[in-house]
Amino acid sequence: MRRQRDETPERGDTVLRVEGLRVEFNDAAHTHAVDGLDLTVGRGEIVALVGESGSGKSVTARSVMGLLPSEARITAGSIVLEGQEVVGLSPRRMNRMRGSQVAMLFQQPKAMLDPTATVRDQVAEPLWLHRGLTRRQARTRVAALLKDVGIPEPERRAAGYAHQLSGGMAQRVMIAAALSGEPGLLIADEPTTALDVTVQAQILRLLRHKQREAGLSVLLITHDLGIVASIADRVAVMYAGRIVEDGTTTDIFARPQHPYTQALMRASLLHSDHGSLYSIPGSAAQSRALDHGCRFRPRCSVAEGLGIAKSCEDSEPTLHACGAGHRSRCWAPVREEASA
Ligand SMILES: Nc1ncnc2c1ncn2[C@@H]1O[C@H](COP(=O)(O)OP(=O)(O)O)[C@@H](O)[C@H]1O
Ligand code: SF4
Ligand SMILES: [Mg+2]
């Protein structure tokens, strides 16, 4: 049964639970790309992870997949996937989790497909690896999977190569490959950014159909709030490596609490009176350098006016409840109406 929009997942109904995750890069600054992140995805729900470029969304996704680059490492926290702790899991066991429990879609589907292998072989790989199908069984299953994701003439397409596909068709092939191992969770990192608007809408409809039909859970990474509003059940807003607000999509859009969420919403609206796009003044780099207080304070436009600047400077707010299933990491009093 599909989750009601105003529910948050209970422990037993959770596909992914990330707690206190820290990921450090081995660069001169020892950048903490992800810095104390808490995130939950319930069974059968679509959770959107949003935030500016560089906030740590892709590093979060790669941590869950066990696909961090060699110069990055998890220094703290826990990632529980289908009840299994994956931090510290051996590469062999993590490989088994990928495809069978969790799969990922990327922004550039054509770049992710192997140009030397047929579409059939790429979609069939998880079927051999995780489901033990014979070649003949896999061939039949691949045709069914391609048909299922809306690819016309699936047998002919299956014999073709990635360069023969359009961007939209390539992303459909990636979805077929991702779903072939019947994972409970799909992580989609900006899966439609490289596609034109019509194809984007088709791919999002396909994901929503899979969520409803198969009870698939989706962690959807996007910077596009229009996409969030159209498809997500819940939203987690990420800033400088941490979640600063999360809640149902309805609540986040109707009553955004954190000044960063409010600024993101303003930035996503074209100001018709000026014809210009609002951008959030300052950069997250200023925030990452702070070692105390609220990390958003160099860019916050409300702290002074509310007379709470001293608290904001002295100590960092926790991610605390500001409504049912709604949390914000901010000292400002709860606002009932949107100010964005
Ligand atoms: N290869 C790298 N070396 C050093 N730092 C990196 C590297 N990749 C990412 N980072 C750091 O991690 C942060 C988050 O990156 P990323 O997760 O890709 O952001 P997003 O997906 O939200 O745009 C970046 O701001 C950067 O500081
Ligand atoms: S805690 Fe203070 S500085 Fe931080 S976002 Fe809230 S009001 Fe702004
Ligand atoms: Mg990214």
Domain boundaries defined on the chain: 115-164, 255-328
Q: Is 202 exposed, middle or buried (0-12, 13-18, 19+ CB in 10 A)?
A: middle
Q: Tell me what the mean pLDDT of segment 176-197 comes to.
A: 92
Q: What distance in angstroms lies between residue 310's CA and the mean position of ligand 1's atoms?
A: 30
Give me the helices (H) in the chain, please.
57-65, 91-100, 109-112, 119-131, 135-148, 154-158, 167-180, 197-214, 225-231, 249-254, 259-268, 284-288, 303-306, 309-314
Q: Does residue 293 surpass a pLDDT of 50? A: yes
User: Could you read off the pLDDT of 269-289 as tens digits, one per residue?
Assistant: 754 345 556 788 888 888 888
State whether the beta carbon of 294 lies less than 6 angstroms from ligand 2: yes
User: Which atom from ligand 1 is nearest to the alpha carbon of 59?
Assistant: 17
Ligand 3 center to 190 CA (angstroms): 7
Q: What is the mean pLDDT of the chain?
A: 89
State residue 284's pLDDT score.
86
Q: With bands split at pLDDT 50, 70 and 90, how would you rate the model's confidence at 1?
A: very low
Question: Is residue 317 in contact with ligand 2, taking CB distance under 6 Å?
Answer: yes
Residue 20: count other Cβ atoms within 10 Å of its Cβ. Answer: 11
Would you state the pLDDT for residue 273? 47
Could you tell me the distance, in angstroms and rounded to a whole number, from the CA of residue 60 to the centre of ligand 1?
A: 10
| Protein residue closest via CA to atom 3 of ligand 1 | 25
222 close to ligand 1 (CB < 6 Angstrom):
no
Which of helix, strand or coil describes residue 283? coil
Average pLDDT in the 166-187 region?
92
Least confident of 6-20, 118-132, 230-244: 6-20
pLDDT on residue 126: 75
Instruction: Please give the distance, rounded to the nearest whole angstrom, from the Cα atom of residue 194 to the centre of ligand 3.
Output: 13
Atom 27, ligand 1: residue with shortest CA distance: 33
- Which pLDDT value is given to residue 276? 59
Residue nearest to atom 1 of ligand 2 (CA): 330
φ, ψ for residue 289, nearest 5 deg: -75, -15
Residue of the CA atom closest to atom 25 of ligand 1: 54
What atom of ligand 1 comes closest to residue 60's alpha carbon? Answer: 17
Give the pLDDT confidence score for residue 307 in this predicted structure. 95
Cα 261 to averaged position of ligand 2 atoms, centre (Å): 11
H-type helices in 107-196, by residue range? 109-112, 119-131, 135-148, 154-158, 167-180
State residue 331's pLDDT score. Answer: 97
Q: Which of 242, 258, 292, 297 to mutate to test the pocket of ligand 2 (most atoms within 8 A of CB)?
A: 297
Instruction: Please work out whether the CB of residue 53 comes within 6 Å of at least one atom of ligand 1.
Output: yes
Report how far ligand 3's centroid is from the alpha carbon of 154 (Å): 31
Give per-residue pLDDT as tens, 113-125.
899 999 999 898 8
pLDDT of 79:
98
Q: What is the mean pLDDT of residues 243-269?
A: 94
- The tokens for 91 are 């590469």
Q: What is the mean predicted confidence (pLDDT) over 250-272?
A: 87
Protein residue closest via CA to atom 2 of ligand 2: 312
Mean pLDDT of the 161-185 span: 92
Is any ligand 2 atom within 6 A of the Cβ of residue 330?
yes
150 lines ligand 1 (CB under 6 A): no
**pTM score of the predicted model:** 0.92
Mean pLDDT of 13-22: 96
